[in-house]
Amino acid sequence: MVPPNILQVPVLVVEDEVLIGMMVASILESIGFRSVIIAANSEQALRAADAHDFGLLVSDIILEHSKLNGIDIVVSLLDRKPVPVVFITAHAGVGDLQRITVEAPRAAVLRKPVVHRELNNAIAALTETWRTT
């Protein structure tokens, strides 16, 4: 179960496919998150991070029509403020997954299509890890 205090923090969803971004936002809202912002590319994500103090990042790895991929965005944002991260992907390769283990070792990785139970469990596990370290 996601702790109630975590549900109060804004969540940034970085997803270039509009319908998937909306679906992920809907799942997060059904979990109980009150503020979910969707960014479709690196520029929008970095602008949103300048405007909001996010407590959770959910990012696709491969972003079409974006200067940075999801890993680059997350690493940049983690340099500003360490927060729990969930990567979502349909096509990430072994190199991407290896890079995540080095640059964002505490991140969870979920395969698309994302389902409520898996996202909820990943966030609950991440927030437990973040609370105990």
Q: Is residue 133 part of a domain?
A: no
Tokens of 109: 């990785």
Cβ proximity of 80 and 37 under 8 Å: no
Q: What is the pLDDT of residue 91?
A: 86
Number of structural domains found in the chain: 1
Alpha helix segments (H runs only) across the chain: 18-31, 42-51, 70-80, 94-103, 116-132
Give the C-alpha distances (Å, rounded to integers) separating 108 from 47, 50, 56, 67, 86. Answer: 24, 24, 12, 23, 5
Tell me the pTM: 0.95
We report the CATH number of the domain holding residue 67 as 3.40.50.2300
Residue 61 is part of which domain span?
Answer: 6-125
Cα 99 to the center of its chain, rounded Å: 16
pLDDT tens for 75-110 read 999 999 999 999 999 988 899 999 999 999 999 999
User: Does 39 score more than 80 pLDDT?
Assistant: yes
Cα separation, 1 vs 92, in Å, equals 28
How buried is 52 (Cβ within 10 angstroms: 0-12 exposed, 13-18 middle, 19+ buried)? middle
Q: Is residue 132 part of a domain?
A: no
Cα separation, 37 vs 43, in Å, equals 14
The model's confidence at residue 133, banded by pLDDT at 50, 70 and 90, is low
Q: What is the pLDDT of residue 2?
A: 87
pLDDT tens for 17-26 read 999 999 999 9
The model's confidence at residue 131, banded by pLDDT at 50, 70 and 90, is low
